[in-house]
Amino acid sequence: MKIKSNIAVSDNGFVFDPNTGDSYNLNNTAAEILQMLKSGKEETEIIKVFAKKYDVDETTFEQNFYDFLGMLNHYNLVEENRG
């Protein structure tokens, strides 16, 4: 999943979408994921990194992660064509 290239993400988790003028808040984990996605990391890789770094098992994280990606999609923050 690719984040639209003109979406701005600040370090403290503030997201601005110039296409719509909408802005969003992210919590720390969400900000980290967004940065990884922006830098082109694969989804499977992100899951591995998180399960290692955080106190969470892979299945739980995977569920939360795809729920989160669903929200990014809902807010139109991702490119239409995947990959």
Partner 1 sequence: MEKLRYERPVINKIKAGVPDKFGMNTKIKIMPEIEGIPVKDIINKYGSPVFVLSEPKIRETYQEAHRAFSSRYPKVQFAWSYKTNYLDAICKIYHDEGSWAEVVSGFEYDKALANGVPGSKILFNGPDKNDEDLLKAIENSSFIHIDHFDELYSIIRLTKNTDKKAKVAIRINMDTGIYPQWDRFGFNYENGEAWNAINRIMLSENLDLVGLHTHIGTYIMSANAYAVAASKLAELAVRTNRKFNHNIKYIDMGGGFASKNTLKGAYLPGKDTCPSFDDYAEAITSALINSEIAPDNLPILFLETGRALIDEAGYVLGTILANKRLSNARRSTIVDIGVNMLFTSFWYEHEIYPAQECSLQTEDTAIYGPLCMNIDILREAIQFPLLQKGDHVVIPRVGAYNMTQWMQFITLRPNILLIDRDKNIQIIRKKETNEVFKQMERVPDHLK
Contacts to partner 1 by CB under 8 A = 15, 22-30, 33, 50, 52-56, 60-61, 64-65, 67-68, 70-72, 74-75
**Distance between CA atoms of residues 47 and 77, nearest Å:** 20
Shortest distance in whole angstroms from residue 39 CB to partner 1? 16
Shortest distance in whole angstroms from residue 16 CB to partner 1? 10
**Distance between CA atoms of residues 36 and 40, nearest Å:** 6
User: Which is closer to partner 1, CB of 52 or CB of 82?
Assistant: 52
User: Which is closer to partner 1, CB of 18 or CB of 70?
Assistant: 70
Shortest distance in whole angstroms from residue 12 CB to partner 1? 13
User: Which is closer to partner 1, CB of 70 or CB of 82?
Assistant: 70
Say if residues 26 and 13 touch (Cβ distance below 8 Å). Answer: yes
Q: What's the number of CA atoms in the CB half-sphere (13 Å) around residue 6?
A: 7
Classified as helix, coil or strand, 78 is strand
